[in-house]
């Protein structure tokens, strides 16, 4: 799928509109008049360019919003006499709008990736705080063998769910801590100046069901949006860290709030939709490495090429315009937004936002938890 109706555009600021409108025909499809209406709008806004030293990045931004308004056919009637409108309905329609940009989520994910490179993911503080649970888990190896033998004779889904959760939130983190401790013990830093870069990129949903709130009098028209695009965030920092220094923060969290959060039962479930744990660790890392920061920047990009189209004719069923019908309507959109921000300090996390978008791993864990809750021991 490609959006074809726009000519090549430059980054020169502009706000250009085209008003082709739509034509009206009577019940015999005889042309009667042309009604003015917006057909397309090209808006480009670019921030001021800073001429720096040709080496260090400076803050800059631009927005490209190229719209083709809803085009199609509307069947209407006046005093019982039908007539037809064909063309663009920009004067009284919903403008095509870009998909949602999860800007805060993308930034926090990029910052978490950056912090894992700067600081590592090792946190023995949580392992020590959960030593009782770890000891019970190690003792449970015998029980695990017994469960396996019993499951062959008589399947017990609660035991399977319990074993999966022990592996996901017990054995897997324990093995990760052991490997992380060994890796940290042999880590050698040769340079004091560290150039660290992290990027996350996510493809936009290729197909979405949307609703046009109004198309020249026809309300709530269902449509399908097909998109080619992505959202991305890149964070780059230069840090000055003495190579001979021992940093306790690479071995454990120094924030009591982070340790307390990890010890709260089922806190990981909350993190699936509102990532408090990562926010606390990222906040702690920013405070710890603030003094080592030299310079850096963030680059955020959102790009989408969209075509919105009716999947089938739609007739309004209520209201003063009941009986009006929209047929074969569609619209197009090219949207670009880029924001580069020069950092004056080590990047701090943004407040987490609520988003329910569970992956396969979370869904399997949720199923195991529900199995434990709703099945008898």
Work out the average pLDDT over 116-123: 72
| Exposure string for 72-108, b = 16+ CB within 10 A, e = fewer | bbbbbeeeeeebbbbbbbbeebbebebbebbbebbbb
| Exposure string for 150-177, b = 16+ CB within 10 A, e = fewer | eeeeeeeebbebbbbbbeebbeebeeeb
In a domain, 289, yes or no: yes
Q: Among residues of the chain, what percentage have pLDDT more than 70?
A: 61
In a domain, 5, yes or no: no
In a domain, 150, yes or no: yes
Q: How confident is the model at residue 217 (pLDDT cuts 50, 70, 90)?
A: confident
Nearest to 133 by CA among 269, 263, 258: 263
Domain that holds residue 272: 14-374
In a domain, 347, yes or no: yes
In a domain, 263, yes or no: yes
* Report field, pTM of the whole predicted structure over 0.85: no
Highest mean pLDDT among 229-243, 321-335, 352-366: 321-335
Q: Domains in the chain: how many in total?
A: 1
How far is residue 252's CA from residue 262's CA, in Å, rounded to a whole number?
A: 13
Cβ(221)–Cβ(329) below 8 Å = yes
pLDDT tens-digit readout, 235-263: 999 998 776 555 665 555 656 666 665 66
In a domain, 353, yes or no: yes
Q: Would you state the pLDDT for residue 4?
A: 42
In a domain, 6, yes or no: no
How far is residue 345's CA from residue 369's CA, in Å, rounded to a whole number?
A: 41
Copy the structure tokens of residue 302.
């959102």
How far is residue 20's CA from residue 34's CA, in Å, rounded to a whole number?
A: 9
């Amino acid at each position: 799928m490609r959006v074809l109706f726009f000519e090549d555009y430059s980054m020169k600021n502009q706000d250009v509109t085209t008003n082709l409108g739509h034509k009206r025909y009577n019940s015999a499809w005889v042309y009667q008049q042309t009604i003015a209406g917006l057909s397309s709008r090209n808006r480009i806004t670019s921030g001021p360019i800073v001429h720096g030293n040709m080496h260090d990045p400076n803050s800059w931004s631009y927005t490209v919003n190229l719209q083709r308004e809803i085009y199609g056919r509307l069947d209407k009637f006046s005093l019982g006499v039908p007539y037809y409108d064909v063309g663009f309905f920009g004067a009284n329609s919903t403008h095509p709008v870009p998909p949602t940009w999860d800007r805060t989520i993308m930034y926090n994910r990029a910052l978490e990736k950056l912090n894992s490179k700067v600081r590592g993911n090792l946190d023995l503080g949580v392992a020590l705080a959960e030593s009782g649970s770890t000891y019970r888990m190690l003792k449970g190896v015998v029980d695990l063998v017994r469960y396996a033998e019993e499951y062959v004779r008589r399947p017990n889904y609660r035991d399977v769910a319990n074993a999966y959760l022990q592996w996901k939130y017990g054995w897997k983190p324990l093995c990760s801590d052991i490997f992380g401790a060994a890796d940290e013990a042999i880590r050698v830093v040769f340079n004091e100046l560290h150039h660290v870069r992290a990027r996350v990129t996510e493809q936009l949903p290729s197909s979405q069901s949307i609703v046009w709130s109004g198309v020249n009098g026809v309300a709530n028209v269902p449509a399908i949006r097909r998109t080619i695009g992505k959202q991305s965030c890149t964070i780059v920092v230069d840090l000055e860290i003495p190579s001979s220094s021992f940093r306790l923060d690479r071995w454990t969290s120094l924030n009591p709030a982070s340790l307390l959060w990890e010890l709260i039962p089922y806190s990981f479930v909350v993190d699936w939709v509102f990532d408090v744990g990562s926010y606390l660790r990222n906040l702690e890392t920013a405070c710890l490495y603030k003094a080592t920061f030299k310079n850096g920047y963030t680059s955020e990009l959102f790009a989408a090429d969209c075509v919105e189209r009716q999947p089938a004719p739609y007739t309004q069923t209520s209201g003063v315009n009941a009986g009006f019908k929209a047929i074969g309507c569609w619209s197009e959109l090219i949207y670009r937004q880029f924001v580069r921000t020069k950092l004056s300090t080590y990047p701090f996390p943004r407040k987490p936002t609520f988003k329910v978008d569970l992956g396969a791993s979370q869904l399997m864990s949720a199923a195991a938890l529900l199995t434990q809750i709703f099945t008898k021991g």
